[in-house]
Structures are given as structure tokens and as C-alpha cells.
Structure 1
Amino acid sequence: MTLLNDPRTRRSRLGVAAAAAGLLAALLTAGPATATPDPGDAPTATQKVSEGARAEVRDAIADGEIPGQDEIVHSDNIEHLANIPKDALPGTNSDLAFQGKYAFAGNYDGFRVFDLSNPRAPKTVAQVLCPGSQNDISVSGDLLFLSTDSSRSDDSCQSTTQPATEKSSWEGMKVFDISDKRNPKYVAAVETACGSHTHTLVPERRNVYIYVSSYSPSATYPDCQPPHDGISVIKVPRHAPEKAALVGFPVLFPGEGPDGGGNPGGPTNPGVSKTTGCHDITVLPSEDLAAGACMGDGLLFSLKDPEHPKVIDRVQDNVNFSFWHSATFNQTADKVVFTDELGGGGAATCNATVGPNRGADGIYDIVGKGDRRELVFRGYFKIPRHQADTENCVAHNGSLIPVKGKDLMVQAWYQGGISVWDFTHSSRPKEIAYFERGPLSTETMVTGGSWSAYYYNGYIYSNDITKGFDVLKLSDRRTDPAKRVRVDELNVQTQPDYFD
């Protein structure tokens, strides 16, 4: 007999109302998934959900199966130290970078600089207004880099939105001088084909190379023409950043036809994104390796010549992966975790109906040597706590937690919160800690939650889309050794060798 009042039964049914309303079918078969939400200058998007789904959410809260609206819950080994709400920049919070005692927080309206000297009370030292989604952010020395992937009237920080069909529109990379953290100065801009959705630094002593990931070309876009089957490479001289320039466009998916040789997506592979570029790239400079999350494809490539990366292996998952979003190496460079951003970050995919293998992490072992190395699939990981159908939830940005002999990671899941998990055994991953807030709304789908959750010098820092900047302290014998590891700078997509 099924006990409908049993919380475990109801919890396992979260998402059934949405499926009954046809939302799940639309999510899985509507064609290529979109990437992360890109509202530009618009307010945070909301979507209506069925009355059945709303009732399901209310019942789940009443029965204690999920936290109440805006209620904070977490495992016993995590402490919430601080939350710094948004201030002068009201847009969507995005990625994070770190240097010394500072955190740099991207926002669709610009970026914010925090002093982390006291993690329990971070202080804002600068807020820079420079609209242009998604303002993916990284730092190296005295330089800060900001991605613009929304069509703008020009390359200034006073630009306005303008259609991509107009030749005069601008998208690309911006460079700031941050030698004075309280007064960042805009020093250079480089336009790139299809803009810069994300970027990854490959730093050298004299120069910084930037791998620019972008996608979705159109014959109607003068500066974003198909086939867009590679990445833009920018070279920035450290002592003359104003001379930053595009130095190449390596083709990663050679092939005939207007779309190159990437995954064709639907209808050949229903529910899978057609590959028209990359979403994000992570590099491991100590090993001259990179992993590319490229819409319908996952890549492993060599960085021995940073201006000409060489693809070593390519994999697809046309059963469970919809949109290859990001990648993380383990410390010993024999594994890669790829994320699937099913629904583009704006859908409720953390429920029983979608299941544990979609909108999840895919764990791949790297086997072989040199240019003959291959990616071999081992297993999936998804947070074990079902979320409401008013909560956007899917695998998103995370980082390693540096512990020798272990593969540990902290990761953002939008309104699914923050998860700490262990993938030391590639085929048997498990969650060991979590932090989350209850739904932003019990009536409509409102985009929110943690965009990025990263471990940096003893603490977890999260940039929540709507709630602001969070600081967490993780206390667990499995992760405590990481507290002794310190780095001077962290751009998560440029992974350090923590134990060199």
C-alpha cells in the first residue's frame, strides 16, 4: 500500500505534477538546450507553473520535505558565516575569481570586489558598473578580464543593448587594471566572433592567453557567422595590456558543411544541443591539458602550444547529456567531471521525474598516455535532494577541494543550493555536505540560486544570482586537510597544481 502522507513518498513524487502537465516532455524534446540564462538588462525572468505543481510545492513544504520559502537548511558539517546582499549592481550575479585577500564577483551589470580579510564579514571595496552579460570574470596579476556576450552599442561601460544583426554592435573581452583594487581602470577591449560567453586564462610570465568560448552563430549576425566551430584566442601582454589582440581561431570541430563537424543535435540526436562552439573550457597548465565543454561534445586537448591547442579525444553522451556546460579535472589529471546544464539553468530538473542521470555531472577517467589519452565514462552524480518545480536546478559551476589522495568537489546547483561531493571512486560518487535555501517562490518559477560555489583558502564562497555573496565554513575530517593548502590566486577554470 502506498502511503500518500509519508514524506518519503511525497518527496519522491516532486515533479510528477509538472510531468503530467507536459512540461517534462517539452524540456526533453524541444530541441537544443539553451545555455545559461541571459536576461541582459531585463529583470529576472519568471515562468508560470501549473496549479498541480504549486499544490505539490505547498504540500512538500508543509510536510517538511523541502525547506520553506527562503528558509536556509544545511548539513551539520557546514556553517553559514555571512551573506552580503546585492548593492549598486542589481543584475544577475555570475562567476567568481580570487586573488590574495580579495574576491571578484561578476554581475550582468559589472563586477564587485570584496575584501575577505574577515570571512565572517566581507567588505565591499569597489563596485564597477559595466553592463554586458554574462560578465564572466577572471584575474591575473594586475589584470582583470570580463566577458561580454550580449550585443552592445559599443565596447564602453556606458553601452546599451543593440541587435546582433547590426554590424556596429560589439561583443567580446574587456580588460581592467586592478593594481588599485579600490579603483579598477578599464584599459582594453577585443571584439570576438559571437562574443564571449565564458573565457579561460592560460597565463605565462610575459603574456596572458585567453581562450574565448562562444556559440550560436547565425547568417543574420554580421559578426557571428556559421560555421562557428572553434574558439577565439587573445594574447594580452602583461606590461602593455592596451595591446591585447586576437591571435587566432583554432578549429576544434573540423568538418564539411555550414556547421562544421560537431554534434549535429536534433533531430539526429533528439534533446541534444547542436555543437556550434564551446560553452566553457578548463585548463590544467601543470599538465598542458584542457577539457572543453562544447554544447553537444566533450573534449580533451593538449596545450603544449597555447596558440594552437590540439584535440586529443572527443566524447558524446546522446542519451543523458543535453548541454555540455563545464569541466573540472581532478588533481592527478586522470579524471574529468563534465556538467550537463539541461534546461539552460532556467528549468526544474532536480526531481524524480527527470531522474538522477540528466542535468547531472558525468565522471570520466582519462586513460592512456600522451596524445593517445582517452576519456572513458564511469558514472553520474546528481544531488540526492529533490527540489520543487518552482526552483531552477541543474549542475553548474564548482571547484576542487584540495585533499591529497581524494577527489572532492564543491558545486553550485542554482536553487538546488551547494553540494560537496566525493568522486574518488569514479563510479560511486557520493554527497558529503550541502547548503540550500527554500524556493524563491511557491507560485512561479523564478530564476535564482547559486551560480558559482568555489573553495578558496579554507572557505567556500558562493555568488547567488539573487541573494548575493555567501561565505560557508566546511568542517569535516574528509575535507579538513584542505584548510592547510593556500594559493595566491584562483580562477577555477585555470586549475592550479595545489601540491606542486
Structure 2
Amino acid sequence: MSLSNEPRVRRRRLGVMVAAAGLVATLLTAGPAAATPDPGDNPKPDKDVSSSTTAEVKKQIADGEIPPPNEIVHSDNIEHLTNIPKDALGGTNSDLAFQGKYAFAGNYDGFRVFDISNPKAPKTVAQVLCPGSQNDISVSGNLLFLSTDSSRSDDSCASTTQPATEKASWEGMKVFDISDKANPKYVAAVESACGSHTHSLVPERKNVYIYVSSYSPNATFPDCQPPHDGISVIKVPRKAPEKAAVVNFPVLFPGEGPDGGGNPGAPTNPGVSKTTGCHDITVLPSKDLAAGACMGDGILMDIEDPENPKVIDQVQDNVNFAFWHSATFNQKANKVVFTDELGGGGAATCNEAIGPNRGADGIYDITGKGDDRKLVFRSYFKIDRHQADTENCVAHNGSLIPVKGKDLMVQAWYQGGVSVWDFTDSTKPKEIAYFERGPISADTMVGGGSWSAYYYNGYIYSNDMAKGFDVLKINDRRTDPAKRVRLNELNVQTQPDYFD
């Protein structure tokens, strides 16, 4: 059966070129790949589960509580328009960015460019082989930015894995010229401390600033020394990207001693990640604000001076949040949704045993003014569609759906699928639509599901780690006004002011 066919609806029960010779991007065409993806960047292998877990999953499927493996189910107000399977880039799909009629899809092996002028039939314009986890991606004007968070032999797209204990190893940011979408050109590379797990853009007319998030330093890593309690700030001149360079490393969690001033983690706070940097930062340039999800801490920052961001407030949740993963402002910038990636995205946490408050979203109101603004916790949101114990599922990347007077969001939950939810009332969030597939396997924990799910110009686009690129359409009176909002560019971690 073609993956692009509309499945039946099934109700669920709820329970400039750089002089270095290495900077060459390898374009993949419909023929054989010109290079071999590096297996050193692949995620952890599949894991066997107990016989009792397998039996329970099969019973849940038989009872209709869980969809059969790979079967698509969705709410009545969601249409599945199409799926584009992974092609030459066989690695794990990651983040998404948008510009005009194009979508840019990150992948552990590189990135793919889609023409989405017809959302029902996206066309592949280019595939670029450039291995290096996790290839978090964003675009601004004629530039595309790619994060490399694995230790490499050099900064080229032909590099291989190399231990971080070797001083000559490289990881950081790569910059491509995408003035010709069919032929991206690799034009610059900037090494950053501890690499670049994710990044966020603060775009200006002449320059693009990049906030590089990375973490997990080690005394044996020459270029990733503890405590690493900050972020790298890179300045990229638009007309001379080859001059891109780190211009600052602001310490966000100052403190005495080798561990700095972030969350100490265990044993002080059992089950909570020790803060050794940030995982992701979302900026709201129109309000000179940023929200940082920093492992054991959530922070609010003033970015009026983009080279020198300063922390306004810092919060922790040592009861229910294990790993502060990402952040989303509402349109009025008086709320932030933080996500908790309990289990690192590789565990089954959307079940009754884990419960509704862990591996969830935390909704915080922003109170006060100026440097006296505070983050005040209001509630948690988690999908209540229980997933199988062979499905990795946890709160992950999402975006606003722009409707005036409402706070609506679409969000990825790995194998929990795609959820559309309303947090207009910070204390009473609720799901209003969903799309998901049944478990990849009923016998084995196989990593997969939606990494990112974003709303762009009337449609929802999801990058499924294993299944490929999905296009969804929501038809609902609560979200319909968003169809009139049009953007020329969207990097979700650089939130636009939709109604300014």
C-alpha cells in the first residue's frame, strides 16, 4: 500500500568558499550516493523488550487500545495529505526550516530540500550528504546553518567520526549558500566548544547571530571543558559568511567551583539532569526575549544586545522535569511552554506508569516587567493517548499555530505522533487534534516517530525520524484563521511576530 494514500480514520481509546580543501558539499541525485554515510552518527540500536512487555503490547493492540504496527490513526479534523519516505539520506530525520515554497529537512546524514508549492505532492530539489549528528537546521536569506554535535575528523562533509579526546577533532557550525536551492554550496565552518547540538538565529540586516547550544563537557575533551555553563555566540556577516566567528561565550549559570551555578542534578536532585550548558534556545526578536531550555534549568533572557544575552529569571522543577529540552513563547510573550525530554527521546514514557506530569510540557506565565519579569508555573500538558511500551514517546519540538486571541500549538511526540493543543488558559490545556502511527514494532523498542511538527502557511509539516516527511492539514474552526497568515521564512526557534 502506498504511504501517500489517505488511511481510514480510526478512533482510539484513551487510556564564500573557505580556503580549506575539505569544505565541499556532496549533492545526492536520484542515482547511487556518491559517499557512504558514517554509521558513527547513527542513534543507539534497537532494544529488545521482555516477553511480558511484548504480550501486553499485543493485548493492547487486540483490544483496540493501541493501533496495529504502523497503522495511521488521526482525529476527524486532521487530514494526512502525503508522506515522502527517506531516500538517499538514510539517517535519522531531525529538524525543519522553511523559506518561501521550500522546506529544509535535517537528517543525521545531511539535509534535504523540498519544493512544497504543492503541499500534497512535495518534490525533492536537493539532497546534501554531510554527516554529523544531529544536523539541526535553519535558514536566513541565502544562508543555511547546520549544527554538528559529533566529534569529526575534520570540518568537511567527507569527515568521519574521531574521538573528542583528540585536539584535532572538530565539531560546531556549518554554513551553506542556498541562493540556488538545487545546488547548496558549503561556504564556512566555525568550531564551537562542545560542538553544536542545536542553534538559534538572531537575524539582523547585515549579520546573523547564532546562539549555539551544547552540553556534556568532559575534562578529557580538549575543546569541551567543564563547567561549560554558557553558549557560544557566532557572528555571520551576510555578505562575507567566510568571516563567521565566535564573538562571545556568555556564562548563563555563574557559580564557584568546577560545576558552575546551574542545577547540580543527582544526588542533590535525583532524576534531574545536571546543567552543563543548554539544549535549546528560542528567541523572540520582536520582544528582545529568549527562553532557554538548559538541561536542569529553564531561563528567560534579555537579548537586546544579541552579542551579550543576559539572564532575567531562572527556574527549576526538581519533581517532574528531568531534562529541559525546548521552549515556545505564545504570541503575546506572556507565556512560555517548556518541554521535558524524559528518557532522552529513546524511552517509552507516554504510558500509565509514567503518568501525566513527567515527560510533559510545562506551561509558565511571564509576570512583571523589564528585568523583574518572572517565570511562574501554571500547569502541565501531556497527550493522554497512552502509547505502547515499545514506542519512544515524549514531549518534543513544536510551533505556534497563529490565531489572534488564542494560544494554539502543534507538537511532535516521537511515536506519540503529532498533537494540536490549546493553552489559552494556562491552567487548563487541552488537545484538539492528533495524528499518529501504531508502534513500529510490537516486539522491540525501535526509535522513530515525529521529531519536529510545525505549522507553516496553512499546513503542518512533520519530519518523522524513520518514516520520512509528512504533510498534514487541519480543518477546525479554532485553527482556521491561521490559514490567512503567510510567512516568507520560518525557523521555529526564531519565533516571528505573526501579527505585527
TM score, norm. by length of structure 1:
0.92
Match of 2:262, SS state, is coil
Match of 2:59, SS state, is helix
Shift of 1:353: 0.7
Shift of 1:63: 1.0
Structure 2: gaps spanning 5 or more residues: 1-10, 16-37
**CA distance, structure 1, for counterparts of residue 41 and residue 90 of structure 2:** 10
Shift of 1:157: 0.2
- The equivalent residue for 1:447 is 447
Shift of 1:203: 0.2
**CA distance, structure 1, for counterparts of residue 63 and residue 269 of structure 2:** 40
- The equivalent residue for 1:209 is 209
Closer, same or farther: CA 496–39 of 1 in aligned 2, 3 Å = farther
Say whether the 8 Å CA contact 2:14–2:384 is kept in structure 1.
Answer: no
Note if 1:324 corresponds to 2:324: yes
- The equivalent residue for 1:128 is 128
- The equivalent residue for 2:251 is 251
Note if 1:417 corresponds to 2:399: no
Closer, same or farther: CA 399–373 of 1 in aligned 2, 3 Å = same
Shift of 1:52: 1.1
- The equivalent residue for 2:406 is 406
Say whether the 8 Å CA contact 1:11–1:60 is kept in structure 2.
Answer: no
Shift of 1:45: 2.1
**Residues 105-120 of structure 1 mapped to structure 2, 5 A cutoff:** 105-120=105-120
- The equivalent residue for 2:77 is 77
Shift of 1:41: 3.1
Closer, same or farther: CA 114–207 of 1 in aligned 2, 3 Å = same
Match of 1:151, SS state, is coil
**CA distance, structure 1, for counterparts of residue 135 and residue 40 of structure 2:** 10
Shift of 1:164: 0.5
**CA distance, structure 1, for counterparts of residue 145 and residue 259 of structure 2:** 29
Q: How big is each residue's C-alpha offset from its partner over 1:290-340, in whole Å with a ceiling of 9 and x where there is no partner?
A: 000000000001011000001000000000000000000000000000000
**CA distance, structure 2, for counterparts of residue 39 and residue 277 of structure 1:** 27
Shift of 1:48: 1.4
Note if 1:471 corresponds to 2:493: no
Shift of 1:362: 0.0
- The equivalent residue for 1:101 is 101
Q: Structure 2 counterpart of 1:146, which letter?
A: L
Structure 1: gaps spanning 5 or more residues: 1-7, 13-37
Q: How big is each residue's C-alpha offset from its partner over 1:404-441, in whole Å with a ceiling of 9 and x where there is no partner?
A: 00000000000000000000000100000000000000
Say whether the 8 Å CA contact 2:42–2:92 is kept in structure 1.
Answer: no
Say whether the 8 Å CA contact 1:175–1:241 is kept in structure 2.
Answer: yes
Say whether the 8 Å CA contact 1:44–1:446 is kept in structure 2.
Answer: no
**Residues 16-415 of structure 1 mapped to structure 2, 5 A cutoff:** 40-42=40-42, 45-415=45-415
**CA distance, structure 1, for counterparts of residue 40 and residue 384 of structure 2:** 32
**CA distance, structure 1, for counterparts of residue 439 and residue 496 of structure 2:** 35
**CA distance, structure 2, for counterparts of residue 384 and residue 43 of structure 1:** 27
- The equivalent residue for 1:28 is none
Q: How big is each residue's C-alpha offset from its partner over 1:428-470, in whole Å with a ceiling of 9 and x where there is no partner?
A: 0000000000000000100000000000000000000000000
Q: Structure 2 counterpart of 1:131, which letter?
A: P
Say whether the 8 Å CA contact 2:41–2:150 is kept in structure 1.
Answer: no
**CA distance, structure 1, for counterparts of residue 75 and residue 436 of structure 2:** 9
Closer, same or farther: CA 293–190 of 1 in aligned 2, 3 Å = same
**CA distance, structure 2, for counterparts of residue 487 and residue 388 of structure 1:** 37
Q: Structure 2 counterpart of 1:233, which letter?
A: V
Q: How big is each residue's C-alpha offset from its partner over 1:88-141, in whole Å with a ceiling of 9 and x where there is no partner?
A: 100000000000000000000000000001000000000000000000000000
Shift of 1:43: 6.2
Deviating beyond 4 angstroms after TM superposition, the runs of 4 or more aligned structure 1 residues are none
Question: Cα RMSD (Å) of the superposition?
Answer: 1.2
Closer, same or farther: CA 42–301 of 1 in aligned 2, 3 Å = closer
- The equivalent residue for 1:30 is none
Say whether the 8 Å CA contact 2:42–2:108 is kept in structure 1.
Answer: no
TM score, norm. by length of structure 2:
0.92
Shift of 1:401: 0.1
Shift of 1:259: 1.5
Shift of 1:227: 1.2
